[in-house]
Structure 1
Amino acid sequence: MPEPPPLTNHGKTMTSVFSLLGRNENDLTAALGWTLRSSPKFLAALTGALSPAPQARTTRIDLEVSDQLGRTDLELHGADHAIVIEAKRGWLLPTVTQLETYASRCGSAPIAHLVTLSDCSPDWAQMHLPAIVGEVKVTHLPWSVVGERLASARRTSAGHERLWLDQLDIYLKEALRVVEVNNAEAYCVVISNDRPGGGGPHTYREIVEQGYYYYPYGWGRGWPAIPPNFLAFRWEGYVQRVHRVLDYEVIPSLQDRWPDIPVLSESSGDRARSDVTDRPHVLCRLGPALRMDPLPTGINYRANRLWVLLDQLYTAPTLQAAQRESQVLRGDAVADESASI
């Protein structure tokens, strides 16, 4: 049987039926709800990740239930359980106030759960969410666990059920990948030989040489919410290194990774906010440095952070030229690179 022709929507290729929905949080929960309805094995696998797990069959799956207190994303109800699911993209979590408004939806069910879904790790969620809200247990499931339970159900499914599981698997892998794996933009930052927190054994440059880079999460101005695929580092007037970002995590403080970095809080005097060490940071794990000759910046960018196409870093005579050509290729208006960020 020949391959079907590609289907595009506004020029974007649709890889699954769920791609027609979009990729926002409501779309994610709609796709999840439909597949839970269509696959008893996936439904059992996902609810089985909860403790205590429901024993009775889920008899009702509701999307976007609204009342005077708010609107839930997804609800699962059965004779012995009520499960309210709140889904987020990235590392976001719902607020405690949100969860408090949803707790009443569980009524007097013997098994009641408020479930949060996001990329956030269970440890991070445990630090920021209460264990119980209104006598209802709060459980966090990373999207990676949803993917594991989905894969488990796919291995033992066939026919109509397997079709929907395959469609959701394709959709989630694309919808949750905020930065496409083939995106070739590098985020170019300056690093120095200063020491985080004003002391300790590590300089910023040494941390990069160890294979890591970090930046503020949720409190630094202008930093990307999701790390890029590539990071470029410059010092002494040159772009010196480019690394692929292999993976990342959000850590509560720099001391979680480097206990010997001095603890510096916002109340520690007149230090800049960027020097604060005991706040959340995005920690990127770097691949090996890509081979390149040092690239002169062309102008003094000071501490500016720049988006530059990877191929331009390797072909342009200066970083200034690489940035300008990147803007042209992206169709952006050419900005004044000397303006501070």
Structure 2
Amino acid sequence: MTELTRHSTAVPSVYALLGTLENDLTAALGYTLARSPALRASIVHRVWPTTTAPATDDATLALEERDAEGRTDLEMRLPRALVIFEAKRGWIVPTADQLAKYAGRIAAHPQGGVLVTLSQASRDLATASGLPASIDGIPVVHLPWTDALDDITTARRTCRGTERVWLDELHAYLNGVIRMRNPENCKTYCVVLNQARPGGGGARTFLEYVTDEHCYFHPYGAGNGWPTDPPNFMAFRWDGHVHRIHRITHAEVIPSLLHRFPDVPADAVTTTPHAMYTLGPRIPPFDPIPTGKNYRAARLWVLLDQLQTAPTLADAIEGTRQLLG
């Protein structure tokens, strides 16, 4: 297939021409739902609050519908019910106040309906972030984008022709958007490790989580300079040297550190949402890299190739500065 690029970046799907904002995501989803009966049925079956979901053959789709209370992202109108989708990029979820503006639209339908929130957040994180189970008697269901991708994948197996084409386009688009990284995708996040334990206890030190559990975590959404988008690579230093470089193979946000590691004592930090990174195999060089200066506990960004080739971390940071400005 002939490759198409835009601003030197590959265009994997026609939907990629829209962009990657929240309205772009719901526009792509809405257009595909309108053209794929299989995906409509699968999504409604997943989010419907009772065991028997209504038929979707006669559904209509509407984007950005406005009334006196506000504007919805996407509505699926069934003969006697209404499904409203509110989407967010990243791991945040819509607020209860925002969703409450739309509950009346659903209540006006004989069979009611459901408010559906869409984001990269897991259901556990959405609940921990304050997403209610219902608003004014209207069920609220969180749909992670990964679950929507699963439904698209399932529908693709059974569909042919034009319907399959649009499912393929949406699948390629969402795969790119929800895994998007910073443009400088070879930047490595370099942090220091020590022998302290999160919450002051538990079975492992911060160093052992990296060396033994092959993971790293930090508070999410708490400020203090922590990234909100996951890095592609991480480097770990202790005792005056960078000892390990890893690719991040999976990133998620969990409601609290105890959600993954229940042995960690609960405190004001460990009970808050955390970004959790799974570390892939080590990346060369495997010999320790001297830091070249005392960075103490500073968290640093450095280009991967500079870190791999410079004699010290300080030289790699200077090389990064010269290349990126």
TM-score norm. by structure 2 comes to 0.92
Residue aligning to 1:272: none
Alignment-derived partner of residue 221 in structure 1: 224
In structure 1, what is the equivalent of residue 105 of structure 2?
A: 105
Task: Extract unaligned runs of 5+ from structure 2.
Answer: none
Q: Is the 8 A contact 1:56 1:80 kept in 2?
A: no
Query: What are the equivalent positions in structure 2 for 1:244-323 lying under 5 Å apart?
Result: 244-265=247-268, 276-291=269-284, 292-323=286-317
Match of 1:338 in 2: none
- Aligned pair in 2 of structure 1 residues 283, 84: CA closer, same or farther (>3 Å)? same
Determine whether 1:8 maps to 2:5: yes
**1:122: which partner in 2?**
123
Q: Give distance in 2, aligned partners of 1:136 and 1:237.
A: 56
Displacement, 1:287?
A: 2.2
The 1:174–1:201 alpha-carbon spacing in structure 2 relative to 1, beyond 3 Å, is closer
Change (3 A) 1:152 1:262: closer
Report how far residue 60 of structure 1 moved.
Answer: 2.0
Cα distance, 1:118 vs. partner? Answer: 1.0
* Conservation of the 8 A alpha-carbon contact between 1:55 and 1:80: no
Judging changes above 3 Å, is the alpha-carbon distance between structure 1 residues 166 and 180 closer, same or farther for their aligned structure 2 residues?
farther
Counterpart secondary structure, 2:185? coil
Moved more, 81-90 or 98-107: 98-107
- Cα distance in 1 for residues equivalent to 2:189 and 2:86: 32
Partner of 1:207: helix, strand, or coil? helix
| SS, match of residue 57 in structure 1 | coil
**What is residue 38 of structure 2 aligned with on the other side?**
41
SS at match of 1:46: helix
Determine the structure 1 residue equivalent to 2:159: 157
| 1:278 CA displacement | 1.9
Aligned pairs for 1:185-200 within 5 A:
185-200=187-202
Matching residue of 1:87: 87
Deviation at 1:282, TM superposition (A): 1.2
The letter of the residue matching 1:155 is R
- 8 Å Cα contact 1:188-1:306 kept in structure 2: yes
Partner of residue 63, structure 2: 63
The 3 A distance-change label for structure 1 pair 280 and 59 is closer
- Partner AA of 1:35 in structure 2: T
Separation (CA, whole Å) in 1 of partners of 2:106 and 2:5? 41
1:169 and 1:161 map into 2 onto residues whose CA distance is 12
Deviations 1:225-263 (Å, cap 9, x if unpaired)?
A: 122121101111111111222213322222223333222
1:50 to 47, 50, 53: 47
Which residue of structure 2 lines up, in the alignment, with residue 179 of structure 1? 181
2:87 & 2:271 partners in 1: Cα distance?
28
In the aligned structure 1, how far is the partner of 2:158 from the partner of 2:261?
Answer: 44
CA contact (8 A) 1:57 1:79 kept: no
Mapped to 2, the partners of 1:155 and 1:199 lie a distance apart of 48
**What count of residue pairs does the alignment treat as equivalent?**
318
Name the CA distance, whole Å, in 1 between partners of 2:321 and 2:34: 46
2:125/2:273 contact within 8 Å kept: no
Which amino acid is the alignment partner of residue 193 of structure 2?
I
CA distance in 1, matches of 2:41, 2:13: 23
* Unaligned runs of at least 5 residues, structure 1: 266-275, 333-341
* Paired residues of 1:54 and 1:111 also in contact (CA < 8 A): no
The residue aligned with 1:235 is: 238
Shift of 1:18: 0.9
The separation in 1 between residues aligned to 2:113 and 2:103, in whole angstroms, is 9
Query: Shift of the alpha carbon at 1:56?
Result: 5.1
Per the TM alignment, residue 181 of structure 1 is displaced from its structure 2 partner at its CA by 11
Q: Give the Å deviation of 1:182.
A: 10
Q: Would you identify which runs of 4 or more consecutive aligned residues in structure 1 move more than 6 Å?
A: none
Q: Distance in 1 between matches of 2:197 and 2:56?
A: 57
CA–CA distance in 1 between the matches of 2:157 and 2:92?
A: 30
Identity %: 48
- Inter-partner Cα distance in structure 2 for 1:182 and 1:301: 23
